[in-house]
Structure formats: C-alpha cells, structure tokens
Structure 1
Amino acid sequence: MVIAGLMAAGQFQLIPQAIAIGTAADTDIINKATATYNDPANPGVPLNAESNTVTVTVAEVAGLTNVPAGIVDENGGSINSNDIVNYDFLLTNTGNATNNIEIPFAAITNPDGNLSVTGFLVDLNNDGDFDDTGESNSGNPFTTDVTATGIAADASVKVRVVTTVNSGLGASEPVAIQLGNTPPNDNSAGTQNQSYDADGTVDDVFTTATTPVNGQREAAALQSSATSQSVTPLALATVLKTRAAYNPATPATTDDTITYRLDFRVESSSPNSSFTPTNLEGTTIQLSTAANGSNPVDVQRILVSDAIPENTELTNTPPTAPVGWKVVYSTSATTTRTVGGSTATAPAAAVWQTVAPASLASVERIGWIYVGPSNVADSTVSGPTLAAGSATTGDANGFRFQVVTSGLTAGGTIANIAQAFGETVGDPNNEVVYDESGDQNPNNFNDDDTPPDPTGTNYDPVNDTGVADPANQDTDNNNNNTGTGPEGEANVLAITPPGAILNGPLNQPGAVGPTNNNDDFVNKSSLALEGGGTQTATPGQTFNPAPVVFNNTFQNPSSNAGELDTVRLLPLAPNNTAVPATTPVQEATDIPDGTRVTITVGSSSAAYDYDNATGYTYVASSGTGPNFDGTANTLKFDNISPGVSINYTVTIDLPAGSQLSADRFSANGVSRAGYSVPVVAFVDNNNSGAFEFSTTPSSNNDNVFNIKIDRLYLGHLALLKEQRVLNPNETVDTDWTTNPIADVEPGQFIEYRISYVNFSTPSTTGSSGNVTLGISNLVITEDGTTGTFVPGGTAIAPPGNGTANNWALPLSTPSTTHQQNTSATLGTLQYFNGVTNLGNLDPADGATVTRYVNSVGTLTPDTAVTPGTASTYQGSFIFRRVLN
C-alpha cells in the first residue's frame, strides 16, 4: 500500500525498507513500476512513464502486547488474607519475526502493597500448564529475570505471577498486580506495543531480538480484584457459525444446498474480571456406536451440536471434523435436551451415535465430540479436556456439513444456530458450560461483558434445544458472528429462485457488448516495458510488457429478490464456449502461455497463470485477504444484497516474447489483435470452485453468471508504409508495394505513403457501457536524418534509434530532395529543415525538407479494415522525393 501510494504520486525513488506487519521479515517485495500512456479517457496522462526497478525488503518489525488473562484463587471462593492468588498475563509477539521477550522479576509490582509476590511461572508453549522445561525454576516460581526465547510471530506465552494475600486485610481491600511499566499503565491502547525506552529502568517487559526497524517494543498490563471478592475459575467456550457456500441449483426452491462451517474456541482471556479462564472438560451425553442408536452409554464429552435447519435435510456430502474431533449424529427429536445422561428427565436427553443412520433424512442434529489426539475409545467414560487457548479457527475446514432444502416455499428462509457444551475442569457442581453461535462472546455472555447468570454460564435444557427461532431471537445479519443481543444469534438465509448477476466495466455492471451482456468490454493499450521504459512498436519485435490494471464492477441487480452467495470471479480462456460466438472470436493460442491474471478486491487477491492447453491455473500461495477461498483458490463473496455493487481489478501481465498488437492485426485481423481475457462472475452452483457452463442449463451447471472482457492491446495503431516509383513524367514505374524495389534511376520520383488505423474493438449499435479505446493527438513524423548515410553502403541506425531514415542525408548533398504533391487525408501538415519550421504550405520542388509532420488528431476505433489494404485504413499521408 505504501508503494502504491508513492507510485500514484510519481515518487519512484527506491524505498530500501518499508513496514509491512503480518508479512514475514526479510521478504522481498519486487515491483517494476511504470506509468502508461493512456487513451483520451485519461487526457494529459502519459501513455508510457518509466522507473528504475525497485525492490522492497520487508523490514523486521517488533510488536508486543500484554493483556490480563485471569485471576485464580487457589482455594476457590473469595480472596481473603493468606490466600495464594495467581495473576495470569498473556504476552503476544505481534511483530513479523521470531523474537525474544524479556520478563524481569522487577517488572512485577504490587501497586496497593496488599500482596507478597512469591515469583512467576512462564508457559512458553501456551499449553495451559507450567510443567515443561524452562517454564519454572525446578518446579518453583522464578525470582530472577527470564528471557522467553524464540517466540514466533503471533505466538503467545502466559506469565503466572504467584502471590500471597497479606494478613489482616479487611473486606474490599484492593489486591492488584502489574506486569511491566508502560504508562499510563491502565490497560489502554497506550500501554500496548509502545516504543521501548532503554533508560536503565528494570521494570519493563520488552522485546530483545535483533534490530527491528521500529525499535524494541514494550507493553504492560494491570489486574485488580478485592478481598472478599470471589474470582471463579470458568471454562469459556465460544462456538462460531457461518454459511461457507450456497448453491441455488435449479429455479426450484427444493434443491438448494447450503454448506455451513462451525468453529470452536476455549478462551484464554475473560470478558469479566469475576471469572478467570480455565480448561474445558466434557459433559454427560448418551453415545451409541450403532447405526440405529441402540444401547447408548453415558460418557463425558465436549460437544459441538447443530440442529438440522427446518425445511432441510442432511446431504450425503461427508461432514468434516478438525483433528481430534469425531462426527456424531442424533435422530432424537429436537424436543429432547441436547446433552444429558440416560437418567435425564423432562425432557429426556438425545442419543448421539458415531455411525450415520441409513436415512440421512432422519438426522435431527449433527455434532462433533472431542476425542483428543489419541482418539479416545467411544466406551471410555471420561473424555479428554481442552486447554484454554484452544481453537479450530486455524483448521482449513473446521466443522462442516451440508444440507439441502426440502418442502420449502419460494421466499422462505433457512435459520440455523449452533451450540457448544462442556464443563469447567474442577467444578464441583459440574455445571454445563454452554454457548450459542452468532457472536464472539463465550458462554452466552452479554454484549456488556456481564455473564448470563452469576455462575458464568446458563444452560436451560427445556428451552435451549438448538432450534433457531429468528422471530424471537436476534440474528447474525452479516454471516460473520457479529450479532448482538442476549444469548446467541441465528444465521438466516432467504431462499429465492436464482435471478441474475451483472458484471461489466467500472460502475457499468449492466453494460451490453456487441452481442449481449456477456461480451461487454474494457479496452486498454500499453507499450510499457516490464522493469521500466517504453517499447517502440517496430514490426516484428516482441517484448515483455508491464502489467496493466483494468477496473470492473459486478452487482447483485436490484431486480433480484434476495441475496447472492458463493459468488466467485475467474478468468476464462478466450475461446470459452460461454463467450458469445459473435464476439470478436479468439483462439486458445491468442493468449500466450505464462500470462498471469490477478483478480483483486480490496485487500483480497488471487493470481492465475495461463496455458493454452489447460486454461488458467491458480498460482500457489498467491491468494490473500478475507475474500480469498483457499479451498477453491478463488475470491468468493457472500451476502450480496440486491442493488449492491462490488468493484474489482483485473491485472493482466503478459510474458516476455509477447507480440505487438499491430503484428497480430497484420497476421490475423482485428478480432485477434488484442489480448482478450473474459472474466466471469458466477454463483458457484455446487461450490466446486470452477465455472461449469453448458449450453443446456441444468442443476449441475452454474446458470447464474455474467461475463465481461478485459482486452489489452500492445499498441492499437497500425501503420502501413508503402512506396512506389514514378517516372519523371509521373507515369507509374512500380506501383505501391511493401516489398523492395530495385533499379530506381536518378530523376525518378519515389513516393511514400503511410496509412494508419485504430483497429481496437468499437462499440456497436445497441451496445452500451463499454470502454472503447480512442486515439488522440496522433502525430506522424517522417524524418530523413535519423540514420547514417554511407556512400556505397547501407543505412545504419545510431544507438537508441529504431529507424534508419537516411533519405535526407547527407545534409550537404542529400540523396533525395523534396517534390511537391504532398497530401494528407486527415489533420494538418508541417515541413521542417532540421529544427526550422517551414510552415504548412507545400514547399517548392527542390526545397530542403528533411522532416514532414502530419498532425492527425483523433481516431475512433474502426474494425472495417483489411490488413495491408491501404484503402480500408482510416487515413494516410503521402510525400514525394526525387532521387538525385
């Protein structure tokens, strides 16, 4: 982003280091910057601007946060005199490289003086205990400085400060511990990730590794409670739910498939200081290993549950489970309680089974139980526990399952909510820890961080059935677990017959091309070189063009009744059958192998390389940003409301050896002169990640789509240079030709004709919204002094000059001299002798004219042209010389 801003401002100087937190240190970011000359849509902006090649090496950037992670009174209950109380802090390396964190013993302070500090422990691997090597002083707390070494970027260590409450304290006396000293020491943002001031103080918590460009960082945190105030250990569970994919299939509303993704966290920090986070263990469920759910036994398991939404059925697409989890099913009615043993009453508990039933339509709930790394046996009563800080959000798939609509009327909705169950390790009351999806709050905590009841969790087996009821509960409108309100929030999807999607030039998603709205286009032209400079469009030359960016927009049209989900963007081969056949037709080979197309929306992007045999293939590791779907390797968009437009860019980077468009025009005509990249916006019908098209639409195809074409020209002006020889009496000796002419005699006239055409694709009658490619300020120059004249030899081009014009050399006695009959079909003519402007009247025969300039002006696109036939070109200019 920094580099892009500098480029836009025209500041192309080398930036040796730039901060890019989140990207690993010492990563080379290489950019060969150019500015390009543009068509009249960008008047005054040069077509070709060059820069040196710049390489940005991402600097090492340090970062550190220090946040309270809970208070634990070892004997439980209220904090009182002589109690051993532990204060936990979570230190996180928020930089972009592995770092060390210095934790001085002197950094632990007791602001109120009501505690005696025994020492501290360091959970280096954040596994919930302090038993590993280096985490304690031979089992005892450290009382000296500790350096936590090799802490990876985004990794955390937990520091536990062990204290004893002083004797003789009354009620409501403050008992606080501060770790670090970063004013204002109030847990505000000003205490986090601040510049470390190495001023000789010994009470800072700070980073130490190498020499980051922003200097070392420090952070501090404060935790406070009071005597006679209870600090309850509590497992804090958060279940998350999103729609990962939606496929409308046919226009019927009874075959739509919805794929849900769930995730689960055991929090390592508490939203409320009355509770300190701890580990989660299982709660009692009935578990069967039979396909019919027979002979269940009572076991303790951590459970994530999801009631199959009303008017849907589970599909035969296998559900996924993260490592350490197992899929389970329940055919018990949703009027049963989700968890509970065989003795549960009013209502009875559901039976869960590890084998899918014969009829998936009978499944009422799908679930996942935690079996741990060792895959605990189903018959084992006590299941494994999950440490605070555990999460599935880093898993590629999380918990996934798919349903299909059934019995749903048009305009209906599908509502769903997930549940999570467990118990707090060590809780003598075995109270069920319970959370519902739709927000980021654990244990159904309220939005103001107050608990659902004084115990920190509140499971109601009668009413908490897991059946979503959006009429009486809040909803997660954005499908991203940002709902608000008490308890959880339902995920709701309106099911409507599939409508349409629009895709076109920037702010013109409804543009119509020569055939229909599947071949509207944006044309751009560039002769900028990769790495800087501008290519001279000399026939027969190839070059390595710089990348060119196209601006586009796709839209869920207002005419649609509902949202669009699982919308993807992909480049298509130029001969894809979905592109109308009447469009300027291109062949697969018209895009050179190695062409890279990058699609970008905001901070999200994905790149694809082209091969004319296989089409476009995703470039490994190129996908970035929140809209990148790493499973399908495309950008994906959900919850697009009617009338909402999304802008995106397509960057076309042609490989070295690319042909000039003028050469492609000469060889194959106007239809194959440009490099056409159709881009499709489509609703992915089966969430395959691929665009599946057929001329006979069916439920297996992606029927909701729209194509637009980004067409890059490497120059869009064709020049046809011809010559003929006239006798002194002006009869024709040799007619117009591009071939060499032999045996021209002194006194004969040589006539030169230069014809020109803008061969880019024009708009046509009935089309609208397309971005065409005009030509403005076209100036044609003929200069006879740019070469070197060698008597008896050949013309030699001097270094840096692509032409070898010597027809006005040597200057003392030129080989040819001007003859009247100069003409131009468009624009004006000027005549020069060296730098002297002779005016715009045709000079007399024999006048010294070394340069002719035809200022043509503007040219609109014109495809009614035959390459090599001057009469079909848009204009020409002719001048005559006599051979001396």
Structure 2
Amino acid sequence: MKSRYIFPAAHALSRVIAVLAFTGAFGAHILAQTTPGGTTIQNSASATYSDGSGNNFSTISNTVTVTVANVSGLVITPDAGTAPSPVVGGQTNARFTFRVTNSGNFSDQVRFLAGGQSIQLTGPATIAAAYIDINGNGSFEAGTDIDIYTNAADALSPSLAANGFVDVIVSTNVNAGATNGQTVSVRLGDAANDNQTADNSAGEVRTVSGGTANGQSEAVGDISAAIENDAQLRVSLVAPAGPVALNSNISYAMEVCNTGARDAQSITLTNGPAGQNSGVFIIAPIPVGTALASGQTFPAGTLYSTSPLAMSPITQAVWTSTAPASLADVRRVAFSVGAPLAVGACSLSISMTVTVTTNDATTPIFEIVDAFANNSIGAGITDQSGDTVSNAGDGNADFNEGAQPGNVDGNGIQQLTILQQLGAVLLGPAGQPTATGPTSINDDYTNRSLTTGIAGVPPGQVTTAGGAVTFTNTLENTGNAADIFRVTVPNSPAGFTVEVSLDGGITFTPLLGSGSFISVPIAFGATLDLQVRVTAPAGQTVLQGYDTVIRATSILTPGSFNETIDRLYTGFLRMDKAAVVTNGTGVGGANAPVPGAEIEYVITYSNVSSAGGSGNSMLTINNLVITEDGNAVPNNWGSTTDQVAGSASDSRGGTITGDAAGSTALTDTVSSIAPGQSGVLRFKRRIR
C-alpha cells in the first residue's frame, strides 16, 4: 500500500483561500449567516479501492480546516419610525425607544460617544436623558442603566451575543410653546444605513471589537413624533388678603377652564370610590394651620381625603364620598367639575371655607389649588392656581412649590391671607423657652455651680474665692410679629454682678441696676440664645443656691413678659458621715469601742440642687467616686482596724472595691445622682 503525502505549502494555501472566500460571502449576506465567528470547519475525504486480485484497500485525504472569520454588524431600529403616540406642547419625558442589535457573528459591544454626541434631536424639544435600558423596565436607574447623554467619556454597552440587543431610551421634554403640525425627531447614530463600515464620524454609534474581517460597523435609527394641540387647564383661586383673626374663617372661590383645542378628559383617582372617582377635578389642599369648616354644602361628587399631603393625590391618596367625623383630619377636598370639560368651557365657581386653627400668626395662611384631567391622548395634565399659564402644575396638590413659583418652573403661586399679630415672649433655659418652674412659667430655672473656692470647704462654711458662671437662656418670640424685647435683671444677690451677651459670649454688657436693660430684636417665631455671666464674690455659704432673675418684656405688648432664674450653686454634693459601734465581745457595753468590736461607718451623700417643673436645666452628679482611705492623713483606721469582708453596701447600687480581708481602702462609684436624690454607703471595720 502506497503512502499519502500532502505538500505543506499547498495545505496552507487551501486554508487561506477558503477563509477569504467565506468572509467575502459573509459580508454580502451578513444577516443570513448564523455560524459564529471563530468556528472551525474541518473536512477530509475517504476512498476504497481494489488491485484486481481480490485485495481491497481504503485511504483518506488530508484534513482541510477553515476558521470562520469574525464579521461585525450593527442594526438600529426603527428607521424612519413613528412614535407610538403624538406629543403635545409641555409634555415631559416623551420617550423614543430604539433597539440596537449586534448583527455580527460574534459577541461584541456597542460604543456611544461621550456627551450624547451619538444622539441628534430636531424640532421644538430638548433631550432630558438618554440611556441604555439594561434591565428593560423603561426607566433610568443609576448604577444599573448606562447614561449615554451626560456621559463624560464614551459609553459601552454590555457584551452582546450575535443577534443580541439592548434598548436605548431617549427621553425628551417638548417645549411648552410647541404647536400643532410641528414634529420632534430623534436620530441615533449618523450612518447612511445599518451595517456600514464605521468611519469615526462625529455622531456615530459603532461596534467596539477590531480585527474583524470587515472592520467596525455603525448603524442609524430615527423616530419622529407629531405635535398636536391638546387640552389646556387653567385653574384660578380667589383668596382674601386679610388680616383675619385667629379662630375665624377664610373663604375661597375656585374654578377651572379648558383653554386648549381639545376636550379635557376624565382622570381616575386610583383609590377613590368606584363610580365617583373619574372626572375632571379641582383638588384643594387644606391650608396648614386651618381645618375644613363645618356646615358647608358642596356639589355632588365631592370627595374627601385624610391621606398625608406627601402622597400623590391621583395614585396614592385614599378618597371617600363622605367627610370624616373630625373635619380636622381632612387634608384635601376634590371637586368633580365635568367629564369631559369641553374646549373653551369653565366649571362653576366652587366655594370652600376653612377655620383658622393655628395659635401662631407669624406665618400667613397659604392656599393653592390644582386641577387634574387627561388630554386627548390619555396623558395626565394639571395646573395650579396663582398664574396665567395653562397646564403649569406640579401634580402634587400640596404646598411644595419650590423656590421659583409660577411661570418660571411650571407650577403655581400660593396665595396668602395675613393673620392678626400680637406680641408675646417666653424665656427659659437653653433650648427650653417653654420651661415651667415649680409654680409657673416665671420661676423656671437653670442650675449651675461654681468650681472655684469650694474645694475642701465643709458644709456651713463659706467660699474661699470668688468665681463666675455663664448661663445660657433661650428667648423665644411667641408673638405674631417681629418684636424688640427688653432684657432686665429685676433681682440678683447682693454683691453679685450680671452681664449679658448676644453674640455667643464674645462681648458682654453689664446690667447694673433696675433701670438697666438690653434691647433684643427677634423675628416672628424666632429664638435667640442669651449668655448671662453671673459673678459671685468670695464668702458665700457653700452648698447653697443663689438666684438671679432674668426678665424679657415685649415692646409691642408691654404687659407681656416672662422671667427665668439663673441659679448659681456653691457646690451641690453634700456628704455626711456617722459611725455606729457594735460590741459583741462580752467585754464592756453593747456599744463599747473595745478591741474586737465593730465600727459601721455610714456616709450619706446627696444632691442638694433643686428639682421640679419641666424643661429646666438641672445639676446631675455624674461618675461620683467616694474614696475611704484608712491610711490617708488624718485617717488612721487602716492601721487600727480590720475590714469586715462583705460588709460594704451602697443603697444606690454603686460599684464598691476593697471590701475584702486585709483592705485598708474602699472606693464606691455611683453613675449618677439626680437633683434631690441621695444615697448611703456603709462598711464595717473591726477594732484590733
């Protein structure tokens, strides 16, 4: 049998010719090919033969290998497409959805140019956002979807298998002034057709991988949307200017007109009663500081909601056809004014009255009403009162209108009613102007203690040095207008000096006598912290409180004033010690201090500072550590007595160390002692 031999050069040449022929055919019919790039195609022939003498033989040829080339391809659809729905002037987030498909025969990515350059828009609209909708839910989610409009660098799609795709969504805002007959067109990419060789043009969308048989590919898609005139709502509100008295009523009048060229259609309140929850609605939020007034008669179909204003009035708030038992619980009222509301038509004027419930006339009563409907293509439209622009609403029927109301940012303007204003004042401890003392709001207090001149001074003795304490008092304007308050010191201990600071303690002004005062201007409802520095001379009895009375008086209403007490203590922890001898030795009397008798030491500790009232700033003893050292001069019980192990106790559960045989010292740690509270430490020593 003869052997076979294939020349290597001929073998290699046959492989190259096969690859070139295949890729040429692939480029002409890219969508018809399904064999993945990189696929190896092998072929060898076999034969049988005989030598004529009855001997049969078989043989095979060499194997010819053909590797399928990677061929790029890209298709964007639709081409010359039409948006599913027309758009109307003022419509926001009108979406144009493109499908970008890898029509190549291998996995590849798609490149979108930086800064939204791959997207072109023509017509009366602007691009709001553009992104690759990775999870296919139709909305942008940061961290999941890929921004291709504000991207600082080129954005790449995930790797797409052959015939795999991603959807690209371009969201647009149609100009409010857009008119019927105009068109908004969005183009993704700038190629002449799909499956074009990429040329690095300024607006292209192209594949990423290089080294393909045909280079990188680019494609193009475009969608247009017609603009139609549609329904336009304009809601108006009449509100009194005021001033009105607290607890009185405010009456409003409201109506809505359709200023557009198409009928305004019904919108549905998702959580309203069936049969009454569809129509064109005016929704009036109940103003802050008021309640819906009783005794009113509203048009048929009126609905009430007690849901928080933070909830959407259309999709989240719950509506009922009857008012709740407590009208104070009503948060919104919805008035059905038609279904549909015809072109050029206006609703009847509707009246609504609220009762002022706030006790603070600083802030006027604000009201704004919203109108809701659908336009002819089923899109929700809304308007808010206070301006002359139709369909300028934020759709929330609350009082969150932003910093630029009205025509500037697409919502309305709240209308206000001024309340009558009176002067009033509260003065109290830091952050607690409403504090009350043991008997009234004029004896609330702030307790603080000197740190000088009290160390080592036993009860009943006097301080060895003077000292100063700075108190913080909060003054609140509880009146209904800006006011100026006179701060005075009607009473202070003899020999004490009092100074007041309005700038956080940088500068102080002395209040020298009954006619001395400081003027403090405070805006409506505002507060101001006063720093009051009280200086006490030496020679004050320790463990005592010394009162300085601070008064603030309204200039608008001189009969309105409030006082607070800044109480300076000369120390506030009192300790009293006693000893009880118990003799069980049989020698001497029952209380004879003979060797073997036991001495129980009793230490009573107490917080002597005042308590009572509410909101007052009190002195609490924290981290109290009582030390009993038998060897500290003048103590000598450490060398003359022995510890009775286990005898130590603290009535407040303090942590005691040293209660063991042979100990000559004990410590008792108590976490805190409130004003007026006390505790007792006991331990026993046996006389040697």
| TM-based fold match above 0.5 | no
Higher CA-based Rg: 2
TM-score normalised over the length of structure 1: 0.28
